[in-house]
Amino acid sequence: MSKAFAWLSFALAVGVLAVWLAQGRPLVTMTERPVTQKVVDEFGDTMEKHSWEPDLRIGLLDVTLPVVAVFGALGTVLLVRARRASREVAAKERA
């Protein structure tokens, strides 16, 4: 049972890492992104209009790294405990 939770923990860590990679690998969490639009003013000149749109992209330093570290450590601890438990069962069967 703990092996299943360990592998689930590793899968969640890889999933969070994959989301971070897919979102463009920002260092910190971004809640908005810059948008540039070309508009024509009343004189017929083409100008660039800069604005911000809401957008959530998870960052490496404040979300991804801590989550991956916690899930990775949890998975490692669970796998070590499962291995120790299986060794104890095998030792009892031999005795």
pLDDT in tens, 35-79: 999 999 888 899 999 999 999 999 999 999 999 999 999 999 999
Question: How confident is the model at residue 50, as a pLDDT?
Answer: 94
Q: pLDDT over 70 for what percent of the chain?
A: 100
Partners of 46 in the beta sheet? 40
Q: Domain boundaries in the chain? A: 2-94
Crossing angle of helices 65-94 and 2-22, rounded to 10° = 160
pLDDT score of 92: 87
Could you give phi then psi for residue 26, rounded to 5 degrees? -75, 150
pLDDT band at 80 (very low <50, low <70, confident <90, very high): very high
Tell me how far apart the alpha carbons of residues 14 and 89 are, in angstroms, rounded to a whole number. Answer: 31
22 has a pLDDT exceeding 80: yes
- For residue 14, give the nearest of 66, 71, 79 by alpha carbon: 71
